[in-house]
Amino acid sequence: MFIDFEGIDGSGKTTLSNLLASRLKKLGYKVAHAREGGELQSPTARRIRELTRDAKLLEMCPRAEFFLNLARDAQQLDEVIAPALKRGEVCITDRYLYSQLALTGGGRGLKEEQLLPSCELASQGLWPDLVILVDVDPDLARLRKRLGKVQSGKANDSDSRKGLVGAGLAVRVREAFLAQARKDPSRWIILENNDQPLRVLEQRLVEAVVARLEGREQPVQRLVPAPSLPSCVASVDDVEERFFQAVDALEAREPQLAAWLLNGIPGLPAHQRRLAYAERLPGLVARSLNGLEDDTAWTLRDVLSASVPADVAEGIGFVTSPRSHALRQRLYAQAPAAVLEGLKRQDSPEAWALRERGVKDGHLAAVLLGLAGVDGDESWVIREAGMQRKLYSEVARSLGGLTTERAEALREALIPHDRLAVLKSTTGLETPVAVGLREQLEKGALKLVLRSLTGVDTPRAWAMRERGAALTKEALDSVDGMDSPAAWKLRASAARRWPATVVSSMRGLPLVAETRALLDRILEEQAGKLPVLRNAYAVVAQARALEQAQRPARALAETLSVDAGRQEA
Write the pLDDT tens digit of every residue in 487-500: 999 999 999 999 99
The answer as to whether 285 is a domain residue is: no
Q: How far is residue 334 from each of residues 220, 311, 340, 343, measured CA to CA in Å?
A: 55, 11, 12, 16
Counting the structural domains of the chain, the total is 1
Answer yes or no: is 9 a known binding residue. Answer: yes
| 349 confidence band (pLDDT: 50, 70, 90) | very high
- Residue 228 confidence (pLDDT) above 60: no
Residue 151: how many CA atoms within 13 Å on its side-chain side?
A: 15
Assigned domain for 51 exists: yes
How far apart, in Å, are the Cα atoms of 472 and each of 65, 100, 172, 307?
20, 20, 10, 39
Q: Is 123 annotated as a binding residue?
A: no
Rounded to 10 degrees, what is the CA torsion of 48, 49, 55, 58?
60
Please name the amino acid found at residue 168.
G
| Cα gap 364→362, rounded to integer Å | 6
Length of the chain counted residue by residue: 569
The one-letter amino acid at 162 = K
Give the helix/strand (H/E) hosting 2: strand 2-6
Q: How far apart are CA 411 and CA 422, in angstroms?
A: 6
**What is d(CA 329, CA 324) in angstroms, rounded to the nearest whole number?**
9
Domain at 88, CATH number: 3.40.50.300
Residue 48 belongs to some domain of the structure: yes
**Alpha-carbon dihedral angle through residues 369, 370, 374, 375, given to the nearest 10 degrees:** -50
**Is 305 part of a structural domain of the chain?**
no
* Cα separation, 105 vs 246, whole angstroms: 36
Residue in 85, 83, 92, 73 with CA at minimum distance from that of residue 132: 92
Q: What angle do CA 444, 372, 549 make, to 5 degrees?
A: 110
Burial class, 255, CB count within 10 angstroms (exposed 0-12 / middle 13-18 / buried 19+): middle
As a whole number, mean pLDDT of residues 397-417 equals: 97
Note down the domain range covering 52. 2-224
132 three-class SS: strand
Question: HSE-up of 396 (CA within 13 Å, CB side)?
Answer: 23
Q: How far is CA 112 from CA 95, 104, 115, in A?
A: 17, 8, 5
pTM exceeds 0.85 for this model:
yes
How many Cβ atoms sit within 10 Å of the Cβ of residue 393?
A: 20
Map 454-483 to HEC letters: CCCCCHHHHHHHHHHHCCCCHHHHCCCCCC
7 is in an annotated binding site: yes
Amino acid at 418: D
Q: What is the pLDDT of residue 231?
A: 47
Percentage of the chain with pLDDT > 90? Answer: 85
Q: What is the mean pLDDT of residues 529-552?
A: 88
In a domain, 334, yes or no: no
Residue 563 located in a structural domain: no
How much of the chain exceeds pLDDT 70, in percent? 94
To 10 degrees, what angle do helices 485-494 and 459-469 make? 10
The reply to whether 481 sits in an annotated binding site is: no
pLDDT of 227 > 70? The answer is no
The 8 Å CB, 24+ separation contacts for 389-395 are: 389/364, 391/364, 391/365, 392/417, 392/418, 392/421, 393/417, 393/418, 393/421, 394/364, 394/365, 394/368, 394/369, 394/421, 395/368
Q: Is 13 known to sit in a ligand binding site?
A: yes
Per-residue pLDDT reduced to its tens digit, 146-200: 998 888 887 777 788 999 999 999 999 999 999 999 999 999 999 999 988 899 9
* Average pLDDT over the chain, rounded to an integer: 92
Question: How do residues 291-333 score in pLDDT, each as one tens digit?
Answer: 999 999 999 999 999 999 999 999 998 888 999 999 999 999 9
In a domain, 435, yes or no: no
Is residue 129 predicted with pLDDT exceeding 90?
yes
- The helix/strand/coil state of 94 is strand
Q: Map residue 278 onto helix, strand or coil.
A: coil
Residue 220 lies in a domain: yes
